[in-house]
Amino acid sequence: MSDRLEVLRELMAAELSPASSQIAISQALEESHPSDLAFALSELDPEVASRYFSLLNNERAAEVLAELEEDTQRELISSLPVRRVANLLDELQPDDAADIYQQLPSSLRSGVLEGVEEKRAQQIRLLGAYEEESAGGIMTPQFVAVTAKETVASTLEAIRAINDLETDRVYIVDSDGRLLGVTSIQELLHQEQRRTPISTWMDSSVVSVHEDDDQEEVLRIASMYGLTTVPVVDDDERLVGIVTADDLDFVAEAEASEDMYRMAGTLAKNPTRASVPSRIFARLPMLLFTVVVGLSISWIVTALTPSDNGAPRNHPLRYLPIIIALAGNVAAVANAIVVRGLATGELEHGRLTGAFLGEFAVACGVGVIASVLTWLGITTLEADAIVLANSVSASLFLGTLVSASAGFATPAVFDRMGLDAALTGPFVIAMNDLAGTAVFVAVCSFALST
Amino acid sequence: MSDRLEVLRELMAAELSPASSQIAISQALEESHPSDLAFALSELDPEVASRYFSLLNNERAAEVLAELEEDTQRELISSLPVRRVANLLDELQPDDAADIYQQLPSSLRSGVLEGVEEKRAQQIRLLGAYEEESAGGIMTPQFVAVTAKETVASTLEAIRAINDLETDRVYIVDSDGRLLGVTSIQELLHQEQRRTPISTWMDSSVVSVHEDDDQEEVLRIASMYGLTTVPVVDDDERLVGIVTADDLDFVAEAEASEDMYRMAGTLAKNPTRASVPSRIFARLPMLLFTVVVGLSISWIVTALTPSDNGAPRNHPLRYLPIIIALAGNVAAVANAIVVRGLATGELEHGRLTGAFLGEFAVACGVGVIASVLTWLGITTLEADAIVLANSVSASLFLGTLVSASAGFATPAVFDRMGLDAALTGPFVIAMNDLAGTAVFVAVCSFALST
Nearest CA in chain B to A250: B223
pLDDT of residue B341: 86
In this structure, are B125 and B151 located in the same domain?
no
Shared domain check, A197 and A308: no
Report CB contact under 8 Å: A445, B304. yes
Of A228, A336, A437, the CB nearest to B297: A437
Q: How far is B344 from chain A (nearest CA, A)?
A: 7
* Three-class SS state of B385: coil
A282 and A179 in a common domain: no
Pairing, β B230-233 against β A239-243: unpaired
- Same domain, yes or no: B201 and B296: no
Q: How many residues does chain A have?
A: 450
Q: Can you state the angle between helices A94-103 and A70-78, rounded to 10 degrees? A: 70
| Average pLDDT in chain A | 86
Q: Does residue A247 register a pLDDT over 70?
A: yes
Question: How much is the average pLDDT of A282-308?
Answer: 82
Q: Which of B35, B304, B344 is the closest to A442 by Cβ?
A: B304
Note whether B380 and B425 are within 8 A (CB): no
Q: Do residue A119 and residue A218 come from a single domain?
A: no
Q: Smallest CA–CA separation between B277 and chain A, in Å?
A: 21
- Is A142 within 8 Å of A163 (Cβ atoms)? no
State the pLDDT at residue B313. 56
CATH number at residue B111: 1.25.60.10
Q: Specify the long-range contacts of residues A306-312, CB closer than 8 Å, at least 24 apart.
A: A306/B445, A306/B449, A308/B449, A309/B445, A309/B448, A309/B449, A310/B312, A311/B312, A311/B315, A311/B316, A311/B317, A311/B448, A312/B310, A312/B311, A312/B312
pLDDT winner (highest mean) among A47-56, A303-312, B435-444 = A47-56
Residues 36-75 in B contacting A (C-alpha not used; CB under 8 Å): 67
Asked if residue B61 and residue B33 are part of one domain, the reply reads yes
Instruction: Give yes or no for A256 touching B (CB within 8 A).
Output: yes
Residue B98 pLDDT:
92
Q: Are A345 and B223 in contact (CB < 8 Å)?
A: yes
Residue B299's alpha-carbon distances to A30, A413, B316, in angstroms, are: 64, 28, 12
B205 and A33 within 8 Å at the Cβ level: the answer is: yes
SS3 state of residue B239:
strand
Which chain B residue shows the shortest CA-CA distance from A268? B423
Q: Is A190 on the interface with B (CB under 8 A)?
A: yes
Chain-chain contact of B265 with A425 (C-beta, under 8 angstroms): yes
Q: Is residue A138 part of a domain?
A: no
CA distances from residue A141 to A166, A240, A249 in whole angstroms, order as listed: 11, 6, 18
Residues B144, B287: Cα–Cα separation, whole Å:
51
Chain A residues closer than 8 Å to B185 by CB: 168, 185-186, 189
Asked if the model's pLDDT at residue A354 lies above 80, the reply is yes
For residue A1, name the pLDDT band (cuts at 50, 70, 90).
very low
Q: Select from B31, B328, B425 the Cβ nearest to the Cβ of A264.
A: B425
Please state the three-class secondary structure of A273-326 as a single string.
CCCHHHHHHHHHHHHHHHHHHHHHHHHHHHHHCCCCCCCCCCCHHHHHHHHHHH
Query: Do the beta carbons of residue A251 and residue A149 sit within 8 Å?
Result: no
Clarify whether residues A353 and A438 are in a common domain: yes
- Which among B243, B278, B312 is the end of a domain? B243
The band of A314, judged by pLDDT with boundaries at 50, 70 and 90, is: low
At A20, the pLDDT band (50, 70, 90 cuts) reads: low
Determine how many CB atoms are found less than 10 A away from the CB of residue A342: 22
Q: Is residue A250 part of a domain?
A: no
> What integer pLDDT is reported at residue B350 of this predicted model?
65
Examine residue A118 and state whether it is found in any structural domain, yes or no.
yes
Give the gap in angstroms from C-alpha A111 to the nearest C-alpha of chain B: 31
* Contact: B427, A335; criterion CB under 8 Å: no
In sequence order, the β-bridge partners of residue A260 are: none
Same-domain pairing of A290 and A383: yes
A151 shares its domain with A94: no
CB under 8 Å to A428, separation ≥6 — which residues?
A331, A332, A335, A403, A406, A407, A410, A411
- The answer to whether position A256 is within a domain reads no
Select the residue of A163, A228, A318 nearest B245 (Cβ to Cβ). A228
- Where do the H-state alpha helices sit in A55-170? 58-67, 70-78, 82-91, 94-103, 106-115, 118-128, 135-138, 152-160
Contacts of B226 in chain A (CB under 8 A): 35, 67, 246, 249
Q: What residues of chain B, 15 to 34, have a C-beta less than 8 Å from chain A?
A: 31-34
Q: Examine residue B259 and state whether it is found in any structural domain, yes or no.
A: no
Checking if the pLDDT of A43 tops 60, the result is: yes
Q: Determine whether the interchain pair B433/A293 forms a contact, defined as Cβ–Cβ distance below 8 Å.
A: yes
Q: State whether B293 and B229 are in the same domain.
A: no
> Is the pLDDT confidence value at A373 over 70?
yes
Given this model, what pLDDT does residue A239 score?
97
Check CB contact under 8 Å for B325 and A433. Answer: yes
- Cβ–Cβ of B317/A315 closer than 8 Å? yes
Subunit contact B315:A311, Cβ cutoff 8 A: yes
The closest alpha carbon to B265, from B328, B347, B352, belongs to: B328
Q: Do B344 and A223 lie within an 8 Å CB cutoff?
A: yes
The predicted model gives A348-371 an average pLDDT of 86
For the stretch A250-262, pLDDT in tens is: 888 888 888 888 8
Nearest chain B CA: its distance from A344 CA (Å) = 7
Chain A residues within 8 A of B167 when measuring between CB atoms: 168
Residue B135 · residue B91 · CB < 8 Å: no
Contact between A65 and A100 under an 8 Å Cβ cutoff? The reply is yes
Which residue(s) pair with A233 in the sheet? A210, A239
Q: Which residues of A touch B300 (CB under 8 A)?
A: 434, 437-438, 441
- Is residue A281 located within the same domain as residue A353? yes
In this prediction, residue A223 carries a pLDDT of 85
Cβ of residue A225 closer than 8 Å to a chain B Cβ = yes
Q: How far is CA B446 from CA A304, A410, B389, B396, B439, in A?
A: 10, 41, 14, 15, 11
Q: How far is CA B370 from CA A339, B275, B408, in A?
A: 28, 20, 20
Q: Is the pLDDT of residue A129 over 60?
A: yes
Interface test with A, best of B4, B263, B299 (most A CBs within 10 A): B263
Give the C-alpha separation, A184 to A192, whole Å: 15
- Residue A28 CB partners (closer than 8 Å, separation 6+): A7, A10, A11, A14, A37, A40
Structural domain containing residue A425: 265-449
Distance from CA of A142 to the nearest CA of B (A): 13
Element (H, E) at B111: helix B106-115
Which segments of B235-319 does DSSP mark as H helices, in order?
245-264, 276-304
pLDDT band for position A213 (50/70/90)? Answer: very high
Instruction: Report yes or no: A429 at the B interface, CB cutoff 8 Å.
Output: yes
Q: Which of A99, A129, A159 is the C-terminal boundary of a domain?
A: A129
Chain A residues whose beta carbon lies within 8 Å of the beta carbon of residue B259: 260, 339-340, 343, 422
**How far apart (Å, rounded) are the C-alpha atoms in residues A10 and B58?**
56
Q: What is the mean pLDDT of each run of 10 residues along chain B (450 residues)?
A: 72 69 74 88 87 89 90 88 92 91 88 91 92 92 92 89 85 95 90 84 91 92 90 96 90 85 81 86 88 87 66 72 86 88 75 86 94 93 85 92 90 86 81 83 77
Cβ distance A258 to B422 less than 8 Å, yes or no, reads: yes
For residue A184, the cross-strand partners are: A169
Phi, psi of A178, rounded to the nearest 5 degrees = -80, 135
Domain identity same for B168 and B290: no
Euclidean distance between CA atoms A428 and B208, whole angstroms: 36
Task: Report how far residue B139's alpha carbon sits from residue B241's, in angstroms, rounded to the nearest whole number.
Answer: 6
Q: Say if B293 is an interface residue toward chain A (CB within 8 Å).
A: yes
pLDDT at residue number B1: 46
Find, among B147, B184, B163, B185, the residue nearest to B92 by Cα.
Answer: B163
Q: Do A297 and B433 touch (CB under 8 A)?
A: yes
Using pLDDT thresholds of 50, 70 and 90, give the confidence band for residue A435: confident
- A259 and B CB contact within 8 Å: yes
Tell whether B307 is within 8 A of chain A (Cβ).
no
B42 within a domain of the structure (yes/no): yes
Nearest residue on chain B to A407, judged by CA atoms? B263
Q: What is the CATH number of the domain that holds A432?
A: 1.10.357.20
Question: A78 to chain B nearest CA, in Å?
Answer: 25
Phi, psi of A123, deg, nearest 5 = -60, -45
Q: Give the CA-trace dihedral at B7, B8, B13, B14, to 10 degrees.
A: 70
**Closest approach of chain A CAs to the CA of B163, in angstroms?**
7
Inter-chain Cβ pairs, chain A and chain B, closer than 8 A: 270
CATH code: domain of residue B182: 3.10.580.10
Within a domain: A420: yes
For residue B303, the chain A residue with the least C-alpha distance is A441
Angle between helix axes B70-78 and B94-103 (nearest 10 degrees) is 70
Confidence of residue A327 (pLDDT cuts 50, 70, 90): confident
Which residues of B fall within a CB distance of 8 Å from A309? 445, 448-449
pLDDT value of residue A433: 81
In-domain check, residue B211:
yes
Rounded CA separation B450/B446 (Å): 6
Query: Are the Cβ atoms of B426 and A67 closer than 8 angstroms?
Result: no
Answer yes or no: do A328 and B263 touch at CB < 8 A: no
Cα–Cα distance between A328 and A321 in angstroms, integer?
A: 10
Give the chain B residue whose CA is nearest to the CA of A311: B315
Q: Which of residues 117-176 of B touch A (CB under 8 A)?
A: 156, 159-163, 165, 167-168
Q: With an 8 Å Cβ cutoff, are A189 and B185 in contact?
A: yes
> How many structural domains does chain B have?
3
Residue A87 has φ and ψ, to the nearest 5°, of: -60, -40
